[in-house]
Amino acid sequence: MDIRAEDFAREFARHPLARCYLIGGQEPLHVVEAADAVRARARREGFDERDILHAEPGFDWAQLADAGATQSLFAERRIVELHLPDKGPGGKAGSAAIVDFVKRDTPDTLLLVVAPGLVSSARKAAWYKAVAKAGVVSYAWGLPASRMTAWISARAKDKHLNIAEDGIQLLATQNEGNLLAAAQEIDRLALLYPDTRIERAQVAEAASDHARFDIFDLPAKAVDGDTQGALKSLSRLRAEGVDVVPITWALVKELRTLYQAALAARANRLDAYLGKIFLPAPRKRALATAARRAEPRRLARLLSQAARLDAINKGAASGRAWDELITLIIVLSGATPTIVCGNDPFHASPLS
């Protein structure tokens, strides 16, 4: 079964829990919420254990087979959660491993494939079709700017909010196609103004009263050269208990995009490259400016630095992940590298 992102919640509730799910695409909010829904329902139905695999370069695909074949000592039923990069499982080994897994008769194992940023071409791959045949796939396309106000209106209605039409338009303008940020603003308004009509002035006041420190603002600030803004966002995310792993993912995704854009700029193909990716127009303009001034070799070194951070996150290398993340943000934003002072990594001094 292939379910459109906008229909997922309704269809998911109507059908029995499937053997496997693939949640991916270009809209992070859908991936987060749909994957959470699958996990929550699976737990309610007795899938008490969860194995998490990250298919990064060099991943041993035998781990996927072992996760499905090994009997749990602690629970009768388990979730095997496989996280894929934007290009999917990569070569033939990964594709074959997923196809083999979904062909097995394993009623006590649920496969959940999570692929934020998955390229649309992956939908033609054999592994994607195998998951769709054996279970459920839901691919989320990026939301066009023309549909942003309608999406916000529907989301507000689901939260039992009565927002004035010009307030909805202001929310759409403020969030520029970032559904995750818009959803956070709607949740905030629900807390501030329950059971009352929300006018445009209240939407503006709520927005000005609090800066959005979400995972997707931070990389944009770093690329734009706003070092202090990026570090402030990171500080708030850490204080809110956000793990370093999704922050790293968002930062690396932005860094890879900038690297590809910088290469395209050197080859006089920047406009063509920007035409192939989905970003709000203001972000495309900022990316184009950054790409024209960026040095691809420097970005390649930063990607290597990010690979070390990823290894630290997974326990494959020693180091302090938050310190490495701070350094990466500072260097990416073009500021002077810093060192940690005392026990507070957000108050740093220049390296001598």
pTM for the whole structure: 0.56
Give pLDDT tens digits for 188-208.
888 888 888 999 888 887 765
pLDDT at residue 265 above 70?
yes
Q: Which residue has the higher pLDDT, 276 or 15?
A: 15
Q: Can you tell me the mean pLDDT for 264-285? A: 80
Domains of the chain: 5-140 (3.40.50.300), 145-208 (1.10.8.60), 217-350 (1.20.272.10)
Q: 342 pLDDT band (50/70/90 cuts)?
A: very low
Q: Give, as one character, the DSSP assignment of residue 104.
A: S
Give pLDDT tens digits for 305-327.
888 888 888 788 888 889 888 98
Q: Can you tell me the mean pLDDT for 147-154? A: 90
Q: Is 62 exposed, middle or buried (0-12, 13-18, 19+ CB in 10 A)?
A: exposed
pLDDT at residue 131 above 90?
yes
Give pLDDT tens digits for 236-258.
778 767 778 878 888 888 888 89
| SS3 assignment, position 289 | helix
Among residues 256, 252, 248, which one has the least CA distance to residue 273? 256
User: What is the reported pLDDT for 67?
Assistant: 77
For the ranges 187-191, 219-223, 272-276, the lowest mean pLDDT is seen at 272-276
38: tokens are 């699958």
Q: Which residue has the higher pLDDT, 227 or 215?
A: 227
Instruction: Work out the percent of the chain whose per-residue pLDDT is above 90.
Output: 18
> In degrees rounded to 5, what are phi and psi of residue 225?
85, 10
List Cβ neighbours of 345 (8 Å cut-off, separation of 6 or more). Answer: 322, 323, 326
**How far, in Å, CA of 307 to CA of 74, rounded?**
34
**How far, in Å, CA of 55 to CA of 52, rounded?**
10
**How far, in Å, CA of 118 to CA of 135, rounded?**
18
Find the length of the chain: 352
* Three-state SS annotation for 313-332: HCCCCCCCHHHHHHHHHHHH
Helix ranges restricted to H, 138-243: 148-158, 165-175, 179-192, 200-208, 217-223, 227-239
**How far, in Å, CA of 269 to CA of 271, rounded?**
6
Q: 338 pLDDT band (50/70/90 cuts)?
A: very low
